[in-house]
Structure formats: C-alpha cells, structure tokens
Structure 1
C-alpha cells in the first residue's frame, strides 16, 4: 500500500479557499475507495495523509487509511494580513521541524505550494541524494499561480500605500516579485518527477522548463450531491439574508479585492442601475474592497462574508447570475459550483475559468474587455430578459451534469496513476501503524 503525504501549506478552516477544499474533497474520495480494489493501477490501495496548517497539532481521521493532519506554522503570515484578514495564511519558514520528522514515514511526497512544507520536503530529498540514501518519490501539483498573484498584490498594495511615488515604481516592484517567485517555484519543482497542472496553458508553460514528459493534468472535481439547482433556495435566501425578491441576483464569491475583479463588477452594476436596469449584488467572502462596494452600490448589495460550503451551496442555488471577472485563477472551482447550481456564469474572455464552458456564449457568457461598460453590456441581456437568462442557466446545468467530473473520478484517473507508479527506492525507515502512525490529536 503506497503511503502518500500531500503538503498543503495553507490554514484549514470551514471557510478556507479552493485549494484547501480541493484536497479535502480528494481525501474524502480516497476514504471511499474499496479496501480490496481490482488489481489495476487505478484501484491501487492507498494510505493518504494530507498535511495542512492549523492553530494546533491534530489529526482528523476519515477512515482506516486516510487522515488530515494539522501542524502549526513556524513563521506564519497571519501577522502580515490586512485588516480585513481575507488573505490565506501560509508559512514562510525555510524549514518545518515537525513535518521533517513525519515525512520519512511516507513513500510519495506531493507538493502543492512553494512555502515551508515544500522547502522542507525538497531539502530532505537533497540531503538523501547527497548521502546516496534511499529517497521518496517527489510529485507536485500547481493550484495557484503564486507569482502572478504576488505581482498583482504588489501593484495593488503599492498603489494603495505608496501613492504619488516615482511613476512606474509599482510596475517595477510587481515585475520583480513575479520574476523572483517564478524562479523559486521552478527550483522547487525541478526535483519532482511529475507535476500536475489544471489548465493546458499552465502545462505548456511548465513543459518548457521541465519537459513535456514530466507535466500532466489534474482536473478539479465537483460535488454534484452538494451543488445542484434548488427551486426553494431563492425564498430561503430572501428569508435568511433579506435580499430582494423582485429583481435578479448577481452573485460573486471569492476575495473581495481588485485581484478578483470585484471593483470592475461593482462598477458595471452601478452603470446598469443608472441605465434603469434593476439588479442586486450578493457577495460571499471578505477583502479590502468591502467598504468601497458598500459605498458604490448601497442598498443594491448584500455582503454575506465568508461561508462554509454547505451554506454557500444554498446561496448559489438562490441566485440567478454568477459574475466572476477574475483572471488570477488557475481553475476556479466557484465557476463549476455555480454552473452545477444552474446559474448563468459571466467570465472574462481568455481567463482559465472559461475551460468549464462547453459552448461559450450558450452555457456561459464571456466578456471581451475588462472595463465596466463592456461588462454592463454583457450582463444586461441576462438581467433584463428572463427567457435569455433561463436558457443560459439550463445549458450551464446540463454542461455541469454531463461534462464536469466528480472528485472520485478525478482521484482515480488523475492522481492514483501518478501516486502508484513504482517507487524509485524502498524507504529504509520503520513504517508506522497505518491507523496510529501520525501525530496524536
């Protein structure tokens, strides 16, 4: 039974973002694998430990061979978060001693980020290589374009906190941050025998650095039992949150900041209001633009804050349109969740999120330019015409049902074949009992 350690160096909580939720879904899918599967590579028995950051060390067991482990960060970014606290907490330490003590128990080390967990794993592997000692198999997956996101945040913060400084300084800082982080990411991925990426564009970029034989796909799944159309959801949304019942509801879910395009969306809705088009924004999440959105839209916006997945699913199903101007996503689970709930999705042309659409223009709308006027023009037919909106909603739900895989299928087809390949060597350290071999809670 291969023992796999997945390293997710983000804080796990009920309202965590897509990467944390992704690996929670994969862990639950692994717990549903049969104890004695067919003897083929997609049915290989699996021992899986997913490591997250947590306020304290602990273990949550999902089954005899699947567990979630929380480890406190060594150098947390929590103190560096903005006042709204919307950014993900990660660990910037170059070495995590507790993780280093636990990793040798596993055959496969799966990196998912480029901070403390990943640097610890790569340093351990390099030590073993220098000693000619047995080594684990290193694989990785790219869930967030951290260099590009850092570039956008650097520019954003410079504009907010260094106004009136040297012209172009924000661009120089942003470009420097992106270049440095991209080189750092590539150094950490270099020892990995396989790197999994959700989009064709991302795979092509890394194939130029790592070679095409080392890069493969990792799709995102969707929980169709949780996210689905619900005719009763709108009345519940009106009752619980006080949103208006007499106008279309436009939903946004994610960090409420400029990197996700929220000011662009709010500006387009303000234009529509000036043109006499009634619509109401429902925003889920937190971020630096909360107060600006309230000032811009006033009673035409309801901000719900971060929500856990079960409550978020009910909010999706109660809205009409999902508008998501973000260009920073590598996949965008929120788009798949909205389509599964039967919303008409509106996305930027060329964004990675458009890969969820089977027929752009029919099961979702793509917007060519990132300006409020163009977005207002794209949204208006969906908000003014019930028939047009319902046609897109029906096609979105059908695309989700017919083409978007569940998490169990993605685990079987994309991850198990990579994890179950023959190890490059047998690890000599004692193997723990599979049920009790991780830290005690």
Structure 2
C-alpha cells in the first residue's frame, strides 16, 4: 500500500447456519435466508468508515457446492452427516435436517468467519457451539455468536414423533388392533413419545440460545418472553420482510388458476399454503370448509403443500378441494393472487411469512386469536379476521362471514394490500435495521432502503414493468 493511502479494513465475515435442505420448494426458514442473502448482495462494496459485510449462508444439500450471489455473498451447501430423510413420510413434506452432534466439514470452515449465526438446533448449531466453547477455554479469539428463532422446533418435534409412532403402530399385526384405539396402549405410548420429543427439543434449543451473545426473535412478544431469562441486552427483534415485486395482486391470476389447475370460477377460493399436517391444524380448516359447504356457501378450497393430512383433506372435502402439492415461489405467487381468502389456523408459527405474502397479494386473511401470525395485521377486523372461537364452528362462521359478503370481502382485501404496502418492511430494510447492527455493531449504515413499490388494488391488471 502506498504511503498516505487510507487503510481499508477487512469486511466482517458472517456465517449463517441454516441446517435445512435448500430446494425450490423449501419452506419459509430457507426462503427467509435466501432473501436476506439477495439483499446483502445488493449492498455497496464499501462505505467510508465501514469495513463492509462478507456473508456466507450454509445450507444442507445432496452434494457440496457453492453458489455465488456477489463477490461478498455466497450460498454453500454441505452434505448432512446424519440426515433425517429416512424419517420423513412418503411425500417428503417434512423439512430434512441433520441430527449429527458434530459436522466435521463445517468445523473446518467456521474458523474463517468472525460472526457465527445459529438458526436451528441440530448439527450445524451444535458444531458451532462446541467450537465456540473450546475457543473460550483456550483463551483464543472467540467469534461473536448470534442465534435467531425461526421455527417452533419443540412443537414440530412433538407432532412428527406422533406421526412416526402412528406409522409404526399401523404396521402392527391385525391381532393387535385394539391397542391402536384411542386411549389404547399404543396410543398412550405415542403420546408419551411425542411429549418426550418436544421436551428434548426445547431443552436443546434453550441450551444453545443461552450460549449466544445475542438472540433475535421475530415478534415483540417473543422478545419480552426471552428477555426474562436472557436479559434485555441480549435479545432483539428480527422481523421478516416481504417482496412486493413477487407478491402482488394480479387480475389475470384467477383465469390462470382455472386454466392450469381446473379450479371453479363460480366460487370463492379459500387458500392454505404450508405443510398439510397437524402442526398447521389443517384438519380443523378442512372440517370448517366442509361445514361451510353444508350450509350452502359457494366456497372451494385450494391447498398448496404436502403432508400427512393430504389424504384426510381429500376425504373430507372431496371435489371441493384442489390439492396443488409443493410449488416454487414464482408459481405460488400466482396462486395467491388468484384466490380470495387465506385461511391459516396454525399456532406453531414464530412469524408466518405466508400471511404477509397473502396480504400483499390481495387476500383477506383469517387467523386464530393469540397466534403470532396476527402481528401482520395493523387493524384487525379491517385488514384481516381474527377467529376468537378457535374451533370448527368458529372458523366456519369467520370464513362464511367473508365469502358470503362480497362487499366486506373486497373492502378487507383492499385494506390488506394497503397494510402490506405501508406497514410491512422489505427484506432490504430488515437486513439494514435488524441484522447488520447485530452482526456489525457500531458500523456506519450501509444501506438506505428505497420507497416501496406501488401495489395495485385486487382485481386490477399487473402494472407494466417497463413503467417502473
């Protein structure tokens, strides 16, 4: 370097550990970090007085490979050591993770990074926690360890253990059928196993979070809850963003849905997107729609995703449901825009980005009271419905109150779009305001978020992109 030249600091190297398989139909946890990586790739290379960010997001994959998004942002896929793929159901709806206590390949890569960001509680996270403890004991330079909560892992562990137990009991010889009855020995054993699995996952998650310098939580209520045990100085908010360029009203989407998937054009369409299993309370939604049809309401269900309850949903709703399976986000965005109502009874979400996507696409959303997904509503009752009687009859009443009242439905859809446009942050903004200050404390701002894109009203044709 020539004498008198300004000193250029090395960028802060951040490793985000997402121990889930990356694919085109992966769930919200994976998509969240793909969006953050895209936003990071758009950051300027250097800002005076700021070293900048170098970001690597580690996923699981069938083989090791690297995808470069920019000179300072990359996605790395590593093979799992002890994959959960063998434990998934035939449709493969469950997220595949890695149950190994240590990931040797990741262990060789982590020391090159300054910040280790844990997002789960299995192989990647336990490897990082072990290395951080070892560095602390040796008095060596310890990385900054950050954790974030994305999934209610204890609840999912309990649900999936119950499914696995039920599958095992179903394989028993016919002479042992009485044990499979509700309250029978096998049923009690399955409940016990599900409870133990949930408790184990909770202990594992909490132990990892206690070892983090900072923990990020998606809701203010979650921050308050965790701060009681970790302290307010160690807990902060990590919101979720929305991509208005991808999720927006589209007046041509309904005709596309009818043409591509045969959905009826003479009924209101109630959409669900996510895993079709008990963790999302899909059986409750299906039963409420069946009751609604029995009452004479013109409603048809559209469900995106796969899972253990897909067959039961088909059995309950018959020809009144279209099951689309798992879809990539580009096709999912058109499905959103082609429907009228988004019914989402799940209580296991830490955030529920599908709700924000539905609102941005111009759907009236229906959510259970007390669920963390209701944080997306700015004016409950106006930009979305909160179901207070959280049972089949309460959901049938709430959905019927929309599909049978066209004026109310259209007003709520317009208000949902307005809330998404005016209130919900972009991924760029969340990166700048929630993540960078944690990864790079004291650094100068490196990103000024642009104003949101204009969003048309439901039913209007999409804007000409050449005018943007």
> What corresponds to 1:30 in structure 2?
40
1:280 aligns with one of 274, 278, 300: 300
Indicate which of 16, 22, 25 corresponds to 1:15.
25
How far does residue 153 in structure 1 lie from its aligned partner after superposition? 3.2
Whole-angstrom distance in 1 between the partners of 2:340 and 2:442: 48
The whole-number CA distance in structure 2 between the counterparts of 1:215 and 1:168 is: 38
Aligned length: 420
Distance (whole Å) between structure 1 residues aligned to residue 49 and residue 84 of structure 2: 45
Tell me how far 1:422 sits from its aligned partner.
6.9
> After the TM superposition, which residues 27-426 of structure 1 pair with which residues of structure 2 at under 5 Å, given as runs?
27-37=37-47, 39=49, 45-158=52-165, 162=169, 163-164=180-181, 165-166=184-185, 168-421=188-441
* SS of 1:220 mapped into structure 2: coil
Q: How far apart, CA to CA, are the structure 2 residues paired with 1:246 and 1:216? A: 47
* 1:38 CA drift (Å): 5.6
Gaps of at least 5 residues in structure 1 are: 424-441
1:11-54 deviation line (CA, Å, top 9, x unaligned): 000000000000000000000011223646xxx61100000000
What CA distance in whole angstroms lies between the structure 2 residues aligned with 1:39 and 1:332? Answer: 37
SS at match of 2:19: strand
Deviation readout 1:136-172 (Å, 9 max, x if unpaired) = 1111111011112222333455466553333754443
- RMSD between superposed Cα atoms in Å: 1.6
Return the alpha-carbon distance in structure 2 between the equivalents of residues 410 and 396 of structure 1: 20
* 1:176 positional shift: 2.4
CA distance in 1 between counterparts of 2:371 and 2:203 reads 23
Distance 1:204 1:176, change over 3 A: farther
| Deviation by residue 1:365-423 (Cα, 9 ceiling, x = unmatched) | 01113321111011112111211110110110000000000000000000000000279
- Unaligned segments of structure 2, at least 5 residues: 1-10, 170-179, 444-468
CA distance in 2, matches of 1:79, 1:159: 16
Q: Describe the shift of the 1:72–1:233 C-alpha distance in structure 2 as closer, same or farther (beyond 3 A).
A: same
The 1:161/1:351 distance shift into structure 2, 3 A limit, reads farther
Q: Distance in 2 between the 1:391 and 1:39 partners?
A: 49
Residue 433 (structure 1) aligns with: none
Partners of 1:156 and 1:258 within 8 A in 2: no
Residue range with higher mean Cα deviation, 369-378 or 3-12: 369-378
TM-score (norm. length: structure 1): 0.92
Which protein has greater RCO, CA pairs closer than 8 Å, 6+ apart? 1
Q: Which deviates more, 167-176 or 336-345? A: 167-176
Which residue of 2 is the match for residue 426 of structure 1?
A: none
Q: Distance in 1 between matches of 2:221 and 2:189?
A: 29
